[in-house]
Amino acid sequence: MKRIITITSVLLLLSGCSWGQNDNIVTKDKKDSAQSENNSKVKNHQNVDSDLLLESKYFNQIKDVNGQKLIENSSNILALVNKTYSIGSYIPNDLVRPNVQFSFGDQDIEKSYMRKEAANALEKMFQNAKSDGIELYASSGYRSYKRQKEVLNAEIANVGKEKAVQAVATPGQSEHQTGLAMDITSQSENFLLTESFEKQKEGIWLRKHAHEYGFILRYPKGKEKITGYEYEPWHFRYVGKKCASIIYTNNWTLEDYFKHVKKV
């Protein structure tokens, strides 16, 4: 009887050791799996150009409101605003009037304002352009939701809705409402906003140098299907120097940029 009990005890002890070893193996496997996953993430980021790694705060944070994709972080300097993503009734809280020449003179009106960071960059760009013999004039900056509605309705009355929406954004989907965009013209263009601006020395200078100050040509020629809007050689959007340089070098749109950058 004692012999049977002893053998049973030994078997239980061996069994206990066996389970302990298996537990250790499982735990080790989990650790190895987690480490492998972390290494994979690091490796994936290492394989991506560091310039294409972008903090998550710069991506649109979207909320679906009645079928509309509403950007919740509208003050984001890289907010992607287009026919898909709307900023609703957002009003920037840091609008200032840049110290530059305006096509409409010294009138202190809504469209003469921009967000502070963009306004400072615009001032530097205009100053350096002047040093190069290029005289630029700001034409239209910030545009409120209400004003955008008026502009769109006027365009619809003029050319019809189908054509109007190819050139004018729906309220809430205009970059002008972000306070980060400025339409730029010149005296040689009679202070107008027309496609011929691309051939003027001012338009040429802007295409070559705007990125050095953090601005991009937002609606380039040949990219209409991507941006959803007609070519506008006068419309420049502030995104910061790093982003602007990447977009310029790769001949991208802002939509293209967000297809290539990786969130970190």
Catalytic residues: 232
Q: Are 106 and 141 in contact (CB under 8 A)?
A: no
DSSP-derived secondary structure for 37-99: HHHHHHHHHHTS-GGGEE-GGGS--EEEETTEEEES-TT-TT---SSSEE-TT---S-EE--S
Q: Are 184 and 126 in contact (CB under 8 A)?
A: no
DSSP-derived secondary structure for 165-215: HHHSPPTTS-GGGGT-EEEEE-GGGTT---GGGGGSHHHHHHHHHGGGGTE
d(CA 234, CA 140): 10
d(CA 106, CA 108): 6
Tokens representing 135 are 């005289």
